[in-house]
Structure 1
Amino acid sequence: MDWKKLLTPQRLGKSESEDIHWDRTCFQKDYDRLVFSFPFRRLKDKTQVFSLSTNDYVRTRLIHSLEVSCVGRSLGRMVGCEIVNRHKLDRDGFSAADFGDIISAACLAHDIGNPPFGHAGEDAIQIGFESWFGNYDNSVEKLLNDSQKADFELFEGNAQGFRTIAKLEMSPRLGGMQLTCPTLAAFTKYPRESFIPEHILNGYSGSSVKKYSFFQAEKDLFTQVAETVGLIRRNDSVAWWSRHPLAFLVEAADDICYSIVDIEDAFRMGYLSFHEARNLLQDIAGLNLKNKEEAEIIKHLRAESINKLVTKAAEIFLDYEPKILSGEFDRDLLSLGSYAQNMEEIRKTIASKVFQHRDVLRIRIAGYEILGKLFAKFVNAALTNSEKGKLISYLLPEEYRSNSDEDTYSKILKITDYISGMTDSYATSLFQELSGISLG
């Protein structure tokens, strides 16, 4: 891959590139468009870890996205400074700031497609689809092909995010928000479709195939993005590319933030003791702070830990840059660094002490119940002609209602658009109303 093409200031849906020399660059405009978008604002009431929390200190998905964006900007500028020098990109008008702006915008959008209740919400939609699908006879299989089924059976917030920014927001214009192709490619951590036969994957286990990042409905749009920035196509018979190099830094920024910040939030919520939180952060931060309040010590260790991890991620990226550009490298950057064991210990601790805490489990279980049943109710309403189904359909905002000429796949996609766009509070309230628990 070639950096000049990877950074091309071409917007999805537009025929001509923008001038990168403007004081307010095209990549800065990407960031601004995201900040002012409705889907981004909804993240203020979406679960990061602690759903519907009454503690106003802990992070929502909106705050998490802003923090990841800040870390991503730093990573981008650190890496960009060296890459610009290595490849003489300044001759073509590129600067380290461009790297920071692209990654910052991609990080800002990285969770924009996530449904309510975090990963439990994704699982709930998958289960809701399987439950609905299992209640129909074999004839329904003719209405969805294997690739379309996989979009729902393996429902992904990442793919919903690409659909949101590249099609739904600012529709019906081509390209949706019309972000630049470098930002969209950096956003796409898993540049593959949902269904790839095993004989094509052939045991491939790189980080970029753990999930997928676009639905069948947006496959052509991502193909345009991939071809514009020059991603390496891994197989001609399926939609599967190597990552844009900057996607590795988007992933690292997200990993750094949720790992380190979850420790601080868990301490604030009382799920981790001061000694547990301090010990997890101290080895990374390299500090032994005393004579301060416990909360101040954890805050200081959190800040220094993030700084150390950002520096290490940038070093690893620059070391592996040739293999990244050739498509050979496909691993989590920090899994190769000196802090890999620390990060693994943090993940295990958070999994056992936080994600399995009774308070968190209770909300996650509720999320399964709420979203799974809402999905099933609205899909049934969209695809059947029952009297109750008609009533439920009338509750849908007009843009999510099915048209008679739409196929089954498109009708279900509209429901996932509606469900994914909900906030935690709205989904809970709507579920209570439809279940007769509350009459509003």
Structure 2
Amino acid sequence: MTLAENLAPWASHAQASRGRLYSEPESKTRTCFQRDRDRIIHSAAFRRLEYKTQVFVNHEGDFFRTRLTHSLEVSQIARSVCRSLRLNEDLAEALALAHDLGHPPFGHAGEEALQEMMQPYDGFDHNAQSLRVITRLERRYADFDGLNLTWETLEGVVKHNGPLIGATLAGGKHAPLPAAIVDYSRDHDLMLDTHAGPEAQVAAMADDIAYNNHDIDDGLRAGLFTIADLAAVPLVGPVFAEVRAAYPRIDDSRLIHEAVRRIIGLMVGDLLAETGRRIAEVAPTSVADIRTAGAPVAGFSATMRDNDMALKAFLRQNMYRHYKLNRMTSKARRLVRDLFQLFVAEPECLPTDWRRRAGAPKSLQAARVVTDYIAGMTDRFAGDEYRRLFDVQTRAS
């Protein structure tokens, strides 16, 4: 039985794709979603993920996760879940590999700095930046800018966290839509008022599972907290205790790996059971029914959702707000702010190709071009660029 024959009726079927913005002949050997995945893997933005961090700055240690290793972990989880649910694992893989392409250097610190700097202009949103990367900034093909991915992949990148039209902020105010998403959707309607397809929803949950668990792993190995500190965390503490009881002489390194492996398994099992239950409740007959269901079909049970929130609270307090990370992220924010302010005020300092696009100093066009330039940097390149521009002892080449 082929993959297409095994898919559920409500999965995203490659032969029923809404296609690409620019018409192209179909591949003789790959489905359209497999082709999307391959284009993402071969992109410059994907290669740069190797030197972009999740939490730690790249030079802090080789064993901490990068955006690249995180994306691969998300892809593995998303594919496994989709296979069990009879969803399109090729589309899920493409979405998992593309979801972080718009993240700037230095993880959340870099993102916060760009959000602050772009606030007077048209804002910064990493999902919108991912869309810019795959529709405009990648310049590889003779006939178009971007990667010319399928509608389903673009929709999933933009809407994996839910509908964008009608989203509200605290106080009941409507969340403003990022300009990049509005501009693109004007020519290629991504149905911003509906949920994404089921594969995008699964990829978003896989992102959550991977992120939480590799932060447990990285935080323990970095010495930001201990195994004993995790004892009171629901789900996590009992799993560590269970492994310790089963293997009394196990060393901490193996204990961490075994416990994290089991936690991932429990979260994936819960996701499969709850998503299956929701799909049965919706009783969809097509992928359109998933998009218009009014709520996500992929998700945790109430109990696992509480566990997930408790773990996030622990990591926020004991890892993301640890003084060592605070010092590191403070430096990173200052670096990104300084680069932005200099380039916007003096766009003639940009490399030639970027300078041509920047326009007048301190203009919206300059701010957007500078943001694209900085967001595409790796941690290492951003540090080198900072030294070239601000250290008088460093050559400016």
TM-score (norm 1): 0.74
- Equivalent-residue separation in structure 1 for 2:188 and 2:272 (angstroms): 25
- With over 3 angstroms needed to count, the CA separation of the structure-2 counterparts of 1:326 and 1:126, relative to structure 1, is closer
Q: CA deviation at 1:51?
A: 0.9
C-alpha deviations, 1:285-342, integer Å up to 9, x for none?
89433232211111011112112212221222232232844241049822x3432222
After superposition, the Cα gap between the structure-2 partners of 1:201 and 1:42, relative to the gap in structure 1 and judged at 3 Å, is closer
2:157 corresponds to 1:187: yes
Check conservation: 2:320, 2:326, Cα contact below 8 A.
yes
Task: Please list, as runs of the form range in 1=range in 2, the aligned pairs for 1:31-42 lying within 5 A after superposition.
Answer: 31-42=37-48
Q: Name the CA distance, whole Å, in 2 between partners of 1:203 and 1:434.
A: 39
Aligned to 2:4: none
The CA deviation at 1:375 is: 0.8
Shift in Å, 1:112: 0.7
**Deviation string, structure 1 residues 406-431 (Cα, Å, up to 9, x no partner):** 99433322111101011111112222
Match of 1:266 in 2: 219
Does residue 158 (structure 1) correspond to residue 127 (structure 2)? The answer is yes
Name the aligned partner's letter for residue 152 of structure 2.
P
Q: Secondary structure at the match of 1:176?
A: coil
Distance 1:183 1:205 in 2: 32
Identity %: 29
Structure 1 residues 166 and 379: alpha-carbon distance in aligned structure 2, compared to 1, 3 A threshold: same
- Structure 2 counterpart of 1:316, from 257, 274, 277: 274
| TM-aligned CA distance change 1:218 to 1:167, over 3 Å | farther
Provide, for residues 354-396 of structure 1, a one-character-per-residue CA deviation record: whole Å limited to 9, x for no partner: 11112211111011101011111111124xxxxxxx4x2xx42
Counterpart contact for 2:131–2:180, Cα < 8 Å? no
What residue number does 2:136 align with?
Answer: 167
For 1:74, give the aligned amino acid: S
Q: Which amino acid aligns with 1:250?
A: A
- Structure 1 residues 223 and 436, CA gap change in structure 2 (3 angstroms): same
What does the per-residue CA deviation read over 1:263-301, in whole Å, with 9 as the maximum and x for residues that have no partner? 011111111212334765354689433232211111011
1:220 CA drift (Å): 4.5
Q: Residue 11 of structure 1 contacts residue 178 of structure 1 at CA under 8 Å; is this kept in 2?
A: no
The answer to whether structure 1 residue 122 and structure 2 residue 111 are counterparts is yes
Query: Which range moved further: 58-67 or 303-312?
Result: 303-312
Decide which moves more: 401-410 or 352-361: 401-410
Deviation for aligned residue 1:400 = 4.9
Paired position in structure 1 for 2:381: 426
CA separation of 1:37 and 1:5: change in aligned 2, threshold 3 A: closer
Which of 266, 283, 301 is the aligned partner of 2:259? Answer: 301
Unmatched runs of 5 consecutive residues or more in structure 1:
82-95, 134-148, 235-240, 383-389
Is the alpha carbon distance of 1:435 and 1:353 closer, same or farther for their aligned partners in structure 2, counting shifts above 3 Å?
A: same
Give the structure 2 partner of residue 401 of structure 1: 356
Which residue identity lines up with residue 222 of structure 1 in the other structure? S
Q: Which residue of 2 aligns with 1:141?
A: none
* TM-score of the aligned structures, taking structure 2 as reference length: 0.82
Matching residue of 1:385: none
Of 5, 13, 33, the residue aligned with 2:21 is: 13
CA distance 1:226–1:250, shift in 2 (3 Å)? farther
Which one-letter code corresponds to 1:295 in the other structure?
S
Aligned positions, number:
370
Q: Does residue 94 of structure 2 align to residue 102 of structure 1? A: no
Could you tell me which residue of structure 2 aligns to residue 245 of structure 1? 198
CA contact (8 A) 1:113 1:157 kept: yes
Aligned-residue CA RMSD (Å): 3.3
Verify the 8 A CA contact 1:26 1:180 in the aligned structure 2.
Answer: yes
TM-aligned CA distance change 1:437 to 1:310, over 3 Å: farther
Where does 1:202-221 land on structure 2 (aligned, <5 Å)? 215-221=178-184
Whether contact under 8 Å (1:46, 1:117) holds in the other structure is yes
Question: Could you tell me whether the CA contact under 8 Å between 2:240 and 2:255 is conserved in 1?
Answer: no
Q: Is the 8 A contact 2:198 2:298 kept in 1?
A: no
Q: Secondary structure at the match of 2:89?
A: helix
Q: Residue type matched to 2:50 in 1? A: K
Aligned pair in 2 of structure 1 residues 220, 363: CA closer, same or farther (>3 Å)? Answer: same
2:185 aligns with: 222
Counterparts in 2 of 1:265 and 1:408: CA distance versus 1, 3 Å: same
